[in-house]
Structure 1
Amino acid sequence: MTKNILYFLFLALFASSCSNTKHLPEGELLYTGGKIIVEKSKETTNKERKLLQTESNKLLIPKPNKKFLGLRYRLFFYNLAGDVKKEKGFGHWLKYTVGEPPVLFSQVDLQFNKSLLQNYVENNGYFNAKTTADSTRNGKKVEANYNINTKQQYKIKSVQFPTDSADISIEIYKTQLRSLLKDGNPYNLALIKEERVRIDSRLKEKGYFYFNPDYLKIQVDSTVADHQVDLIVKVKNEAPKIGKTSFKINKIIIYPNYGINADSLSVASDSIVKYKDFTIIDNEKLFEPRVFDRVLYFKKNDLYNRTNHNLSLNRLVNLGTFKFVKNQFIVSNTIGNYLDAYYYLTPLTKKSIRVEILAKTNSANYTGTELNVNWSNRNTFRGAELLTISAFGGFEVQLSGEKNGFNVYRFGSEANLIWPRFISPFKLNSSSGFVPRTKATLGYENQNRIKLYSLQTFKAAFGYIWKGNERTEHQLNVTEITFASPQNVSDLYNEQIAANESLRKVVEKQLIFGPTYSYTYTNTMQKRKKNTFFYKGSIDLSGNVTGLVTGANIKKGDTIKIFNIPFSQYVKIQNEFKHNYKLTKTSQISSRIIMGAAFAYGNSDEIPFSKQFFIGGTNSLRAFRSRSLGPGTYNGFNDSSTFLPDQSGDVKLEMNTEYRANIYRFINGALFVDAGNIWLLNDNVNKPGSKFSSKFLDEIAVGVGAGLRFDFSFLVLRTDLAFPIRKPYLPEGQRWVMDKVNFGNGAWLKENLVFNLAIGYPF
């Protein structure tokens, strides 16, 4: 049997190979690629040869048709599609999207590639190298052959920076400690060009606004020693005087209400405001002058530098108040070696209203719609503040799961006021290009769970948001208050509480207050990187100071109440890490790890229900219904309650890995593995097996599945089918259930196969 399979594969590959050349145009040959041989030499090490061969291979053009296991698969599909007359349809897709046309030898310019290789080796210090080019034909296939004889590579003997007394020469000399060119390193033209850019960047920090890398030359003297060169850094004689002049800042003129018409630059006598070092020309007096003192880094008589130049522009854009930001530096006509700085700022519309109709899903398998009405007022108090007031209402229906029919209706409102600065009794500053913000929030939500209960939630928060750079962000809420009050608890729900006491905590009044902090790092915006990361760590504290001051201790019966409600006291920490690895332009592997723990003490014996950890569902372990898994080895399906409770825990571990690839245009596919569980820190007599212990790895649930993602640009609709392969609530030794998988069995499908419909990617 195995021999037959191998024989069949051999025939398939042979037939495919023949078909690759069968359909070539008359007189044409198939180009199979270029082969470069770097000749062995006593003067060249094996490491140098391998590096040359690897890098020079990247230069050859064109690239041959792609191969996999010896099969030029894309060319195979191109030929398989035959003649396609229509510009759309399956045949066109197969021929031009899946397939690719043959790369012909007539498209190859051997002499051009030879010159590319010769230039490359010379630019890397092999000045005496010789390159030849030829080709080898085999039937209707041709391979290009290139031979490189390198000789000995030239190394850097010394790097000489200017030593004359000119100001610019002195500044260039000061940069030599961080030079990219080091004695003893190989000669490298690309690195020499980078060195010119590096020196220019350092000069830009010293006031040389009009300098550029082309004003520098680095002379090469190859006569100093055998296979060695001296590099001599000089400013070109033809460099203009203005490029060799260091400038300071003179006037700083700001137009905060600049438009494209000429009237925006007209100056009325009462529209000019002098504030510190700034001249603000604003006919409508839209902004308080102090706004610009906070965001502009330049002051009068400051030496020009590119860092402050870019930071100022970044902050103006980051204010979120201006539609366009334009900057110009002009040589002052009143004082020598000075620049006048002009800022032309076009404001966004001050007031706006936005109406959104959203389709939404959540981790509890609920799908629904929501209407949002958002009103915004930019520059509310003339200090670039942003006031937003929103009202929302919507409903959610569980399309699959144990709570089908228990629909959720919700409505509420939220107001946010953001100041583009730190509001604090202490002096706080941020030196990044991102404006720090102070944010105050007030909100109310009414959630009505049909047949069960309604829940009113009031919240308030005050805190700070700031970024160290484009990759890191901090958010500190000095205080965050949540008050939850249940209403209209139904008899049905009370009956279930009698059968399962854990349901009671869902409808208990809660008062939560305390600081929260989160730190986020991401480089996912760097699209060209093969590996990108996202990390978010957060800590949530409630009632800690109050509990300490009052001496609250629920274990001794000393429970402290505020407004006749016991306040919550706990510490909660959570870490989330994501990693994306790009395999090709259209495929990647995405992974996520979530680890969290929460500990109640003092005035509380358990974490508030809304702050506990949950697992399972469309954005979690997709092979398990939302919040139905755990804690530990506990099986909530065995409860005498007919209504399945939301299983929650104090500790959470979750891991997800997903292979994603494009299938056709807007359709993407995925294969995934999800694993994890939640646990309690303390024993619970009603939930045996739920306590976290050293055996936690033996209590991990695992699910696998596949799905489709329909990316409509404005909406990503996701469908996933998943099933468990490890069930932690089964007896030890029986938890792996891969041998029980049976897609032909209706009972197995009904019990194990979970369909998830969601919006957006799971992580």
Structure 2
Amino acid sequence: MTETQPWVRLTRISVTPLILALLLFSGCNVTKTVPEGDALFAGFDVTVKGENDSSNRGAALETELSATVNPEPNASILGWRPKLGIYNAFYTEKEKGLKHWIMTKLGEPPVLFSEVDTGSISTVMSNRLHNRGYFNNTVNSSTEIKNKKAFISWTARVGEPYRLRNIKYTWHDSLQVQQAIEEVQPESLLNPGDPYDLSAMTQERIRIDGALKNRGYYFFSPDLLLYSVDTTVGNRQADVLLRIKQAASKKALKPYTLDDIYIFANYSVGDSLSVNDTIDFKGYHYIPNENYVRARHLLDGVFLEQDSLYTREDHLLTIKRLNGLSAYKFVNIDYEIDSTNTNQLDAFVYLTPALKKSLRAEAQMVSKSNNFAGPGLNVSFRNRNTFKGSELLNVEFTGSFETLTGGTGTGPAPDGVEDTGSDKLTSYELGVKTTLSIPRIVSPFNFRNLRTEFVPQTRIGLGFNFLNRVNFFQLNSYNASYGYSWRPKETLTFDVTPINLQYVRLRQTSPAFDTLLLENPYLQRSFENQFIVGSIYQLTYSTQMFEERTSQIFDRVTLDLSGNVVSALQSVAGAHKPTDDDPRTLFGDPYAQYVLFDNDFRHYLNIGKESQLVARLVTGVGYSYGNSNTMPYVKQFSIGGPNSIRAFRARSVGPGTYDIPDDLAFSYFDQTGDIRLEANLEYRFPIVGFFKGAAFVDAGNVWLLRDTYTEEGEVVRPGGKFEAKDVLNELAVGTGLGLRIDIEFFVIRLDVGIPVRVPYLPKGERFVLSEFDGSFSGENSMVLNIAIGYPF
């Protein structure tokens, strides 16, 4: 039986009054603080009745009109008004003290019916309908008050909307801008037969302005375009005439090209704009010198060229690319008409440097996916302009002391099993990691400068890590990498690491761990001293940056290869054919040869303003061959933990239906596999203020591609091999609830997982939800996950 940790018991005690308090708030009289003669604005609805309306916009109109209701009723969840409940429960007339702070900071006063001006709101609704082409509409409201609660109903009656008949653009023939507008007219947002829509007409002005900005019309603006609408043509039709204001200035109606381009590479607010100390480089005036960032490195992010037509596209692209350089914190571009040629603009690029060097120390509580936790120290040095090319150098030193705080093998050992004790399941870790990010592609091949707003990166990494599992083993890990990252467009990111080197060396193993390796050939092969010499290719597609979208997608595909190039070269050189007992070596140690594929797909469905339904599907497979008969331990898949199946502790599930024996459960051992399948479904919703809630269901497992055997011919991990017909029956399933404290710049997450199905139990006994007793101890008990950030 697993022993309950003291901090878990404390959590159980502290949660109880919180639950009681929430129940108290839910039962409060919501009209407790509503003044006599008034009522609580409890809710409203908006109905659009248009029996003769062929545009089928009723639902969209109701949503739009509902947004005009102000103030809105108190926020509610399934009829419960938590913030109003807090306000009522802690109501006080005092202007200070704890109750006043809770009432004002966490609570919300009742929204009163007297605060709702139904007449003004009806007028606003009528105007909105007018803007949508319903020139003849009526909006009425009715109110029902019961038990000091007011519910308001608005009813809008509309007919067939006015539709566009003719759309004409009238210009002066002598204006140069006429030809430019005629060329972009085929992309117009206004089409004959469409319902009259003021917002579409406004967007059409903005579209024309944007098109002209990309054709050199720097001083043009949307308010220079005027609409004239004739609705007297009959049959609910309207003729639209678009023209330019007669008062438009001449400079707004002609295109400009660029003349001199000045780049202030070390600018601070208040600096003199003298251009005496200037370097002319490839047609640019570089000011003042190259003591900060060299011009040849900076110009990859400048897409403004002398004698080229001014375009807003090049302007924005330059700002975004330069903003992506670590050496600068502010970028601004101004334009002035050239003093000698009034048809040209001089461009002034102002770059304000960021703090070049910084040193940060951070004490932290380390909590890893394998249940090791303890204090840690992280010290990092950062140089944002290392070699005068905006190169970002980051050197990070880490140190931690960890002890196993929970999971498989904690608590008293069963009879006949040696009790290692938590004092023996401890770990010390020291590491250093150096990363150099270069804001350009550094390669023996000549690549053209990508015309994208995202800065391409070349990454060089070196690292060393020392791990000491006390009374078990020590592990040295060396790694080096060279790779590239670039985003050809906003939704797509490529990461290519053609050189990925890693060397893992196991040393100073204890007799107990040696015995464990001898008894478990699979584990022994996983911990072999070996090289990983390969490449990693990653493609990420994401639409999460489009926050206004109801549906968002994230998909990351990873291909990891190792050992193929080395094996091919050795084969050409006549090396012997590798076997399990005699693999090929590199500098005296074997190297891993495998191919690994992993895909992480997520779908975010935004429901309302703050609620969200998130689904995730993770699949992966790793296949070792040639020089390896097992995947390296650091590349194997695992299931369970705060970012996986939260009803099971980290790395405690699988492979398949394998039931870990007690003598391994109380030693250093993780349950890993070659195949991973995991699915998650989580509903996220607001509670009060920065408190958010979640309900989730997780399922998954890992499997082996092939069995391994002891010297006696017994399967090392029976039930662990992948069989397609048994996959669904071997999934671990858990559910639970979560609380998140989301204060924008970081999130503290508490998830309580409840096991539903345990795959390693005998068939017919795997569903364990009926045995749930609400405790954190014992078999099939709840699991508390404490983490930073959202799980996915």
Q: Does the alignment reach a TM-score above 0.5?
A: yes
Separation in 2, partners of 1:224, 1:653: 65
Separation in 1, partners of 2:29, 2:365: 49
Q: CA deviation at 1:572?
A: 0.5
Q: CA deviation at 1:174?
A: 1.2
Separation in 2, partners of 1:358, 1:62: 44
Separation in 2, partners of 1:357, 1:243: 58
Moved more, 360-369 or 424-433: 424-433
Name the residue aligned to 2:167.
Answer: 159
Answer yes or no: is the 8 Å Cα contact 1:499–1:641 preserved in 2: no
Name the residue aligned to 2:266.
Answer: 257
Moved more, 549-558 or 411-420: 549-558
Q: CA deviation at 1:384?
A: 2.0
* Cα distance change, pair 556–647 in 1 and its aligned pair in 2 (3 A): closer
Q: CA deviation at 1:593?
A: 2.4
Q: CA deviation at 1:77?
A: 6.4
Name the residue aligned to 1:280.
Answer: 286
Separation in 2, partners of 1:509, 1:667: 48
Name the residue aligned to 2:721.
Answer: 691
Name the residue aligned to 2:323.
Answer: 317
Name the residue aligned to 1:623.
Answer: 647
Q: Deviations over 1:548-588 (max 9, x none)?
A: 44447545988422112222111101111234444465554
Answer yes or no: is the 8 Å Cα contact 2:50–2:160 preserved in 1: no
* Cα distance change, pair 101–734 in 1 and its aligned pair in 2 (3 A): same
Partner AA of 2:434 in structure 1: A
* Cα distance change, pair 454–47 in 1 and its aligned pair in 2 (3 A): same
Answer yes or no: is the 8 Å Cα contact 1:743–1:749 preserved in 2: no
- What's the secondary structure of 2:239's corresponding residue? strand
Name the residue aligned to 1:415.
Answer: 434
> Does the alignment pair 1:125 with 2:133?
yes
> Does the alignment pair 1:190 with 2:199?
yes
Moved more, 199-208 or 136-145: 136-145
Separation in 1, partners of 2:298, 2:65: 52
Separation in 2, partners of 1:328, 1:33: 50
Answer yes or no: is the 8 Å Cα contact 1:154–1:186 preserved in 2: yes
Q: Deviations over 1:96-148 (max 9, x none)?
A: 745541422x3333432232133222212222334556767778666656564
Name the residue aligned to 1:381.
Answer: 387
Answer yes or no: is the 8 Å Cα contact 1:329–1:342 preserved in 2: yes
Q: Which blocks of at least 5 consecutive residues in structure 2 are unaligned?
A: 1-25, 411-421, 709-714
Partner AA of 1:62 in structure 2: P
Answer yes or no: is the 8 Å Cα contact 2:28–2:89 preserved in 1: no
Partner AA of 2:35 in structure 1: P
Separation in 1, partners of 2:459, 2:401: 29
> Does the alignment pair 1:703 with 2:734?
yes
- What's the secondary structure of 2:121's corresponding residue? helix
* Cα distance change, pair 171–623 in 1 and its aligned pair in 2 (3 A): same
Name the residue aligned to 1:9.
Answer: none
Answer yes or no: is the 8 Å Cα contact 1:518–1:538 preserved in 2: yes
Number of residue pairs matched by the alignment: 741
Separation in 2, partners of 1:22, 1:354: 51
Name the residue aligned to 1:738.
Answer: 769
Answer yes or no: is the 8 Å Cα contact 1:130–1:150 preserved in 2: yes
* Cα distance change, pair 373–144 in 1 and its aligned pair in 2 (3 A): closer
Partner AA of 2:730 in structure 1: E
Name the residue aligned to 2:470.
Answer: 450
Identity of aligned residues (%): 36
Moved more, 213-222 or 392-401: 392-401
Moved more, 320-329 or 198-207: 320-329
* Cα distance change, pair 409–716 in 1 and its aligned pair in 2 (3 A): farther
Q: CA deviation at 1:348?
A: 2.2
Moved more, 56-65 or 645-654: 56-65
Q: CA deviation at 1:266?
A: 3.8
Q: CA deviation at 1:508?
A: 1.1
Separation in 1, partners of 2:341, 2:704: 73
Moved more, 572-581 or 561-570: 572-581
Q: Which blocks of at least 5 consecutive residues in structure 1 are unaligned?
A: 1-15
> Does the alignment pair 1:604 with 2:633?
no
Candidates 300, 303, 311, aligned match of 2:309:
303
Separation in 2, partners of 1:563, 1:68: 64
Separation in 2, partners of 1:463, 1:71: 53
- What's the secondary structure of 1:606's corresponding residue? coil
Moved more, 524-533 or 307-316: 524-533
Separation in 2, partners of 1:130, 1:425: 72
Name the residue aligned to 1:13.
Answer: none
> Does the alignment pair 1:25 with 2:44?
no
- What's the secondary structure of 2:765's corresponding residue? coil
Separation in 2, partners of 1:434, 1:232: 41
> Does the alignment pair 1:355 with 2:375?
no
Partner AA of 1:698 in structure 2: N
Moved more, 135-144 or 605-614: 135-144
Separation in 2, partners of 1:203, 1:363: 55
Separation in 2, partners of 1:321, 1:636: 53
- What's the secondary structure of 2:736's corresponding residue? strand
- What's the secondary structure of 2:189's corresponding residue? coil
Name the residue aligned to 1:3.
Answer: none
TM-score (norm 1): 0.89
User: Where does 1:211-250 land on structure 2 (aligned, <5 Å)?
Assistant: 211-250=220-259
Answer yes or no: is the 8 Å Cα contact 1:124–1:188 preserved in 2: yes
> Does the alignment pair 1:724 with 2:755?
yes
Q: CA deviation at 1:452?
A: 1.0
Separation in 2, partners of 1:524, 1:21: 41
Separation in 1, partners of 2:263, 2:133: 51
> Does the alignment pair 1:564 with 2:588?
yes
> Does the alignment pair 1:578 with 2:602?
yes
Answer yes or no: is the 8 Å Cα contact 1:629–1:636 preserved in 2: no
Name the residue aligned to 1:593.
Answer: 617
Separation in 2, partners of 1:648, 1:96: 47
Separation in 1, partners of 2:243, 2:297: 44
* Cα distance change, pair 25–123 in 1 and its aligned pair in 2 (3 A): same
Partner AA of 1:625 in structure 2: R
Moved more, 592-601 or 197-206: 592-601
Q: CA deviation at 1:36?
A: 5.4
Name the residue aligned to 1:7.
Answer: none
Name the residue aligned to 1:337.
Answer: 343
Q: Relative CO higher for 1 or 2, CA cutoff 8 Å, sep ≥ 6?
A: 2
Partner AA of 1:478 in structure 2: P
Q: CA deviation at 1:347?
A: 1.6
Partner AA of 1:231 in structure 2: V
User: Where does 1:659-698 land on structure 2 (aligned, <5 Å)?
Assistant: 659-663=683-687, 667-684=691-708, 685-694=715-724, 695-698=726-729
Partner AA of 1:108 in structure 2: V
